Amino acid sequence: MVCRTLLDDSVSSVCYISLSTAEPVEGVRVEPTAEFAQLQLSFVDQTQWRYEVIRPLVLFADRTAAQRAQETHTHSDTVRTLRRRFHQQGMPGLLPADIEVVHRRRASPIPEAVRQEVDRLKALYDGFHYRELAHILLVKTGHPIDDKTVKTLWQQSPVACQGHLGLWDYHRHPDRYQARLQVVQLYYQGWEKVSISRFLHVSRPTVDAWIRRCAAEQCAGLEDKSRAPQTPIRRQCRGRRSGG
């Protein structure tokens, strides 16, 4: 079974993990010296044992690896190996093979602009899903953020949904062009079509139509188009026949 422990980048020490069964280390004799045997009573895992084996060597340098091997009844090659691994990796180098070290990444600070945008969006509409919000925040602020962080920010925000806040329902907008432009603007800000439809109270086919026309004709595609025929129809009048 593989055990996992997290090491913070800012902490040089390692959290010890108790193991139910300790594997024997090569070169360790059954009966260590009395002093070392007394210390082992307080050990809870192999990592503590390994550090105590090399502790005088790394802290005081007052004896050789061979001397420390005799004091702990440990093979001298084992002492040298542990000392070398400690110098190369620190405490993680003393962990047993069945422990995996995972370094915890420091969370990057959330810009204030992102928090403000979350508050603004939450005040507008509460039907977003978190991946959609992450896309909107990226488009709006340029700050990449994952949906789990968005969920945390959304739940922490004290703002309550207040509705449109100055925006108009599609069918109540006094300017038809601006109503259509509003649909397109929300789409290019990262809103999904279903959210636009529900927020502006307009059908999905209408949302699709104005986005498609704007993409094809730019802003001119949002203007009203005359329904009058392009070429007038010529009426042909037949003259009455005169009597013979």
pLDDT, tens digit (0-9, with 9 covering 90-100), for 18-55: 333 334 444 444 345 677 777 777 777 788 888 888 88
Least confident of 84-93, 181-190, 213-222, 228-237: 228-237
Q: Are residues 69 and 146 in the same domain?
A: no
Burial 174-201 (b: 16+ CB within 10 A, else e): eeeeebbbbbbebbeebbbeebbbebbe
- Residue 61: what pLDDT? 79
Strand partners, 102: 6
- The pLDDT value recorded for residue 30 is 37
Whether 236 is in a domain gets the answer no
Q: Which of 136, 163, 190 is a domain's end point?
A: 163
**Taking the model in full, what pTM does it have?**
0.52
Contact between residue 72 and residue 25 where contact means Cβ atoms under 8 Å apart: no
Residue 93 lies in a domain: yes
Tokens at 107, concatenated: 């969370």
Examine the domain organization and report whether 11 and 93 are in the same domain. Answer: yes
| One domain for residues 195 and 151 | no
Domain total in the chain: 3
Q: Is residue 8, in this structure, part of any structural domain at all?
A: yes
Answer yes or no: is 229 within a domain: no
The verdict on residue 237 lying in a domain is no
With b for 16 or more beta-carbon neighbours within 10 A and e for fewer, the 62-100 pattern comes to eeebeebbebbebeeebbbbbbebbeeeebbbbbbeebe
Q: Residue 49: inside a domain, yes or no?
A: yes
Do 99 and 42 sit in the same domain of this protein? yes
Same domain for 77 and 121: no
What tens digit of pLDDT does each residue of 96-147 get? 776 666 666 666 789 999 999 999 999 999 999 999 999 999 999 999 999 9
Q: Is the pLDDT of residue 8 over 90?
A: no
Are 30 and 97 contained in the same domain?
A: yes
Quick one: 174 and 151 in the same domain? no
d(CA 202, CA 170): 6
Within this chain, do residues 194 and 132 fall inside the same structural domain, yes or no? Answer: no
Maximal C-alpha separation, the chain: 147
Last residue of a domain, one of 120, 137, 163: 163
pLDDT at site 225: 73
Quick one: which of 25, 160, 165, 162 has its CA closest to 94? 25
Residue 219's domain comprises 167-224
Do residues 134 and 200 share a domain?
A: no
Same domain, 98 and 115: no
Task: Quote the distance between the C-alpha of residue 128 and its chain's center.
Answer: 17
Distance from C-alpha of 85 to C-alpha of 65, rounded to nearest angstrom: 14
Task: Please indicate, yes or no, whether residues 17 and 79 belong to a single structural domain of this protein.
Answer: yes
Same domain membership, residue 13 and residue 82: yes
Of 104, 119, 143, the domain-final residue: 104
C-beta separation of 56 from 109 below 8 A = no
Query: How far, in whole angstroms, is CA 36 from its chain's centroid?
Result: 47
For position 224, what pLDDT does the model report? Answer: 82
